[in-house]
Amino acid sequence: MVEKYDRLADGFSEIEYADPSRYAERRATLIVETGPRLRPGETVLDLGCGDAIMARPLAAHGLRYSGLDASERMLEAARACNPGLPFALGRIEEYVPPEPIDAAFCLRTFYQPADRAAFFRHVAGYTRRKFVFDFRPRTHPAGPVVDDLRAAGFRHVELRPFFLPQRRHVPGAAVPLVTALEHGGPVASLVLRRYGRLFCAAWR
Ligand SMILES: C[S@@+](CC[C@H](N)C(=O)[O-])C[C@H]1O[C@@H](n2cnc3c(N)ncnc32)[C@H](O)[C@@H]1O
């Protein structure tokens, strides 16, 4: 796995995302707003940060960012884009930050640890306010994911649809339509059967 991401590190976000800034800004909003709202000055830890595309939009919300990744090449890219920010090399299922974190989040990476329930317990051990991650419910059905969160001690869970395409450009005028669809109740549930992700916030 690490070798794969070492190879992908050069230009990772530009290749992975049709519109890297817009995608990261929308995800930052969901990290802040899903579950208990984050406040300026709070700390956030990006688990599997890649090249740290989330650092800038979360700083724009006044949050104090740090990142963790198992790939040294990804961390080199992250540091080059964000001089002065703290990054650590390590595995998300093992790393413990030097101090408790207000919010930990894990984007497109939560499925990497072999023991999901143990990973959730581990994150719960150092997270003060909430843990946020995203997943495709067609690949990881939401019911068992939520069961594992509750078993890890997270009593509250909020799930929110996220439909902004990762790899296809959406014209600016269409973005409000995509956002409206995310709030579409039963329509959003129907769309999720074929498309999109869920953002999940869990807290005690
Ligand atoms: C699909 S990329 C996502 C990067 C970033 N979170 C984003 O959304 O753009 C997965 C990242 O997680 C890292 N990763 C995968 N498994 C990991 C693990 N067990 N511990 C730490 N990092 C891991 C990879 O090196 C890679 O940078």
Per-residue confidence (pLDDT) for residue 23, from 0 to 100: 97
Which residues form the domain of 136? 2-203
Higher pLDDT, 183 or 93: 93
Q: What would the pLDDT profile of 65-87 be if each residue is shown by its tens digit?
A: 999 999 999 999 999 999 999 99
Does pLDDT of 55 surpass 80?
yes
53 lines ligand 1 (CB under 6 A): yes
Does pLDDT of 25 surpass 90?
yes
Strands of 87-89's sheet, edge to edge? 87-89, 64-69, 43-47, 101-106, 127-135, 197-203, 156-162
Domain count, the chain: 1
Predicted confidence band at 194 (pLDDT cuts at 50, 70, 90)? Answer: confident
Per-residue confidence (pLDDT) for residue 35, from 0 to 100: 98
Q: Residue 148: which CATH number?
A: 3.40.50.150
Residue 16 Cα: closest atom of ligand 1:
9
**Mutational test site, ligand 1, from 109, 123, 164, 167, max ligand atoms within 8 Å of CB:** 109
Residue 53 Cα: closest atom of ligand 1:
9
Per-residue confidence (pLDDT) for residue 21, from 0 to 100: 96
Per-residue confidence (pLDDT) for residue 177, from 0 to 100: 87
Beta-sheet pairing, 64-69 with 43-47: parallel
107 lines ligand 1 (CB under 6 A): yes
Q: What would the pLDDT profile of 92-137 be if each residue is shown by its tens digit?
A: 999 999 999 999 999 999 999 999 999 999 999 999 999 999 999 9
